[in-house]
Structure 1
Amino acid sequence: MATTSENSNRWIRRFRPADDAPCGLVCFPHAGGSATFYFPVAQALSPQLDVLAVQYPGRQDRLSEPCLEDIHEVADQVTAALEPWTGRPLALFGHSMGATVAYEVARNLERSGRPPLGLFASGRRAPSRHRDLSVHLRDDDGLVATLKELSGTDEAVLADEELLRMVLPAVRADYKAVETYRHREGPRLSCPVSVLVGDSDPVTTPEEADAWREHTTGPCELTVLPGGHFYLNSQAEEVRKVIVRDIGSWA
């Protein structure tokens, strides 16, 4: 079991600790998302895997902390927080914005000589595939409309004005971070990459997702599942099967 630091405890949540698991799975939320999005994953995969869910600042128990608006800064801070957990193999799973953060964390880990076991990139186009978007510049109504369109936010939150006021600053900051992100040239990853995407995702086409193979010298597999941007909610069991299968082949 890792001896965690105060910094690690700020960033990492373990809903189902699995100290004897041979591998950790670090999960990165989408824009506006929080660590609890991955509670069902931890519940389903423990004790086979030790699921570590990343909690970004500006939400839930970190609501009082300022949000971060730069993907590289988020990745650097998460990399530091993962230090106590690098004594055993770590696979990274990120959905949407989380996939980009996970990719930059993977780059950091490889640069430090501690490459991840592999990277799961879900619902996100490859870092080299840019779309000129400005959701973060919309007014609150425009942000809410985007959340409704992507169907990833609890209806109870969308219907509660007070809750909405609490979550929108994090949503706006996250969208700014991901929309202003630009891929920096550098060595490709050496770890395998497993890419997942919904077949009717409005923000990531299968072709944009398949371009992840340009970012690793290792194997890269694309899995297309039925659904939109949050396909993984309705296809949770299939996603878990992919995770277990791929980690088993990487280990």
Structure 2
Amino acid sequence: MTKTTLICFPYAGGSSAIYKPIDGFLSEKIELVTMELPGRGSRFSEKTFTTIDEMVNDALLWFNENQPRNYALLGYSMGSIVAYEFYYKILQNRFKPPLHMFLAACEPVGVKRKPKGIAQMSDSEFINFLMNMNGTPKEVFANQELLDIIIPSIRADFLAVDEYNYKPRNLQIGCDVTVFAGEDDSISRENILLWDKYVRNGCKYKFFKGDHFFIRDSHNEIAEIINKAL
């Protein structure tokens, strides 16, 4: 049986652990592979990336080595930006495109974003920024030793997003695309629906109950959609 490899890219500050609960609901015909970034998980000792390009090129190294026969891409928030850029890197290197792309919790890459000034933030300002994002467990902020360990990698991710420079493409995405979003996310539904402009045949959309991190309570539903699509 030839499996479809689901290549996953995490959100800023996330590790491969964010996708493990989904894996338990996926079809046996799907193999989940998460692109673990340096500075966390099994790559904790490696120097962190501070640009989207570095993340894309790192994923390409894995792809060149493994060259999955059938594959799909899944990105969450920052991971959606990486997945988008990775799609074009794949085509540039003359590999066949993915069967499907799943883009979650992210407005289209071409939507103008107001820079958050991550590079200029002090550590305390950055920690307050993270607390307002509501993506990090409150217990983490009570543990200064743990904060000192994880802040550098989280900050590197947010810096990569803050300084990402979108370059328009003449070629739209040619594979099927499904967009996931939270009903209570700060990203407007209007902006989410703009993904259609980047995809040749338009997108399918699924809105989940919850905010930007709806993935926490939607593992089964997300896996079910992926199973049907692949």
TM-score by length of 1: 0.84
8 A Cα contact 2:70 2:98, kept in partner: yes
Would you say 1:212 and 2:195 are equivalent positions? yes
Aligned counterparts of 1:147 and 1:163: Cα–Cα separation in 2: 14
Separation in structure 2 between the aligned mates of residue 169 and residue 84 of structure 1, nearest angstrom: 29
Q: How does 1:31-180 map to 2 (within 5 A)?
A: 31-45=12-26, 47-111=28-92, 112-134=94-116, 136=118, 137-180=120-163
Match of 1:201 among 173, 178, 185: 185
2:34 is paired with a residue whose SS is strand
* Aligned-pair CA distance for 1:120: 0.7
Using the alignment, how far apart are the partners of 2:30 and 2:142 within structure 1? 35
Root-mean-square deviation (CA, aligned residues, Å) is: 1.7
The answer on whether the counterparts of 1:58 and 1:65 sit within 8 Å (CA) in structure 2 is: yes
Q: Distance between the aligned counterparts of 2:191 and 2:45, measured in 1?
A: 36
Tell me the CA shift for residue 161 of structure 1: 1.1
Give the C-alpha shift of residue 160 in structure 1.
1.5
**TM-score after normalising by structure 2:** 0.91
Q: Distance in 1 between matches of 2:27 and 2:129?
A: 33
Distance 1:128 1:30 in 2: 18
Amino acid at match of 2:77: S
Q: Is the 8 A contact 1:118 1:192 kept in 2?
A: yes
Paired position in structure 2 for 1:15? none
**Which residue type is aligned with residue 30 of structure 2?**
L
Structure 1 portions without partners, runs of 5+: 1-19
- Post-superposition Cα deviations, 1:97-154, rounded to whole Å, max 9, x if no partner, equal 0010011111111232320111111000101112112252322233223333333223
Percent of pairs with identical residues: 29
Change (3 A) 1:239 1:135: farther
Q: Unaligned regions of 5+ residues in structure 2, if any?
A: none
- The alignment partner of 1:90 has SS state of strand
1:46: Cα distance to partner?
5.5
Q: After the TM superposition, list the runs of 4 or more consecutive aligned residues in structure 1 that deviate by more than 4 angstroms.
A: none
Amino acid at match of 1:150: M
Q: Distance in 1 between matches of 2:74 and 2:141?
A: 26
Residue identity opposite 1:143 in structure 2: F
Query: Residues 150 and 237 from structure 1, CA distance in 2 versus in 1: closer, same or farther, beyond 3 angstroms?
Result: farther
Q: In 1, are the aligned partners of 2:22 and 2:222 still within 8 Å (CA)?
A: no
Q: Kindly provide the amino acid, as one letter, of the partner of residue 240 in structure 1.
A: A
Question: Conserved in 1, the CA contact under 8 Å of 2:23 and 2:223?
Answer: no
Q: Does 1:238 align with 2:218?
A: no
